[in-house]
Amino acid sequence: MIRCVEVALIIPDNEARTALAILQRLGVGIGALERADLYRCEVAAAAADALVATLRGIETIFNPNKHAIRFRDAARPGAGEVWIDEQVSCAPRAVPVRFAGRPIDGVHGFERFTAWRLFSAPGVAAEAAVVAAATDLLLCNPAFQKASLA
């Protein structure tokens, strides 16, 4: 089964603030921008519910003083969102995948993304054309990254 886990900052995100300021200066019509690390995992059904707890125990992925962690309902970007492939993906295989050097039982493959959420107004997802423009102008470097849009 595929499970997506999002790890987002609960403290100010200077990278997102800087990207927002640059996109606004470039004329992209967005009012807010959020960023999160996203892990899309191929996991055995028996290990799926424990995945968040497992990731919560890996200090290089999750720090309770600065992160929130949650399951995502969908295994693809939502409205106003783009996922940038960091190309740290592991192809599915029979042995457990290693996160930060630790084997994770039940996980047979994973992909890591940076998820960007763009808003035209508070709580209002940006239109697809605006997300595409922001992706092309700043959020994705096609020389070594791949963007997945809603």
- What is the pLDDT averaged over residues 51-75? 91
Average pLDDT, the chain: 90
Residue type, 121: A
Q: How confident is the model at residue 116 (pLDDT cuts 50, 70, 90)?
A: very high
Residue 116 and residue 134: Cα distance in Å, rounded? 10
The residue behind tokens 């070594």 is 144
Bridge partners, 114 (sequence order):
37, 84
Q: How confident is the model at residue 4 (pLDDT cuts 50, 70, 90)?
A: very high
Bridge partners, 2 (sequence order):
42
Among 28-32, 47-51, 92-96, the range of highest mean pLDDT = 28-32
From residue 85, how far is each of 19, 26, 50, 148 by CA, in Å? 17, 23, 25, 8
Q: How confident is the model at residue 55 (pLDDT cuts 50, 70, 90)?
A: confident
User: What values do phi and psi take at 36, rounded to 5?
Assistant: -150, 155
Structure tokens at 27: 């004329």
- Specify the pLDDT at position 5: 94
How many other C-beta atoms are found inside a 10 Å radius of the C-beta of residue 135?
20
Provide the number of structural domains found in the chain: 1
- Specify the pLDDT at position 51: 87
Range of the domain at 110: 2-149
Residue 139 and residue 18: Cα distance in Å, rounded? 11
- Residue 95 contacts residue 87 (beta carbons within 8 Å): no
- Specify the pLDDT at position 11: 97
Q: How confident is the model at residue 119 (pLDDT cuts 50, 70, 90)?
A: very high
- What is the pLDDT averaged over residues 105-131? 93
Residue 64 has pLDDT above 90, yes or no: yes
How many other C-beta atoms are found inside a 10 Å radius of the C-beta of residue 120?
15
Residue 96 has pLDDT above 90, yes or no: no
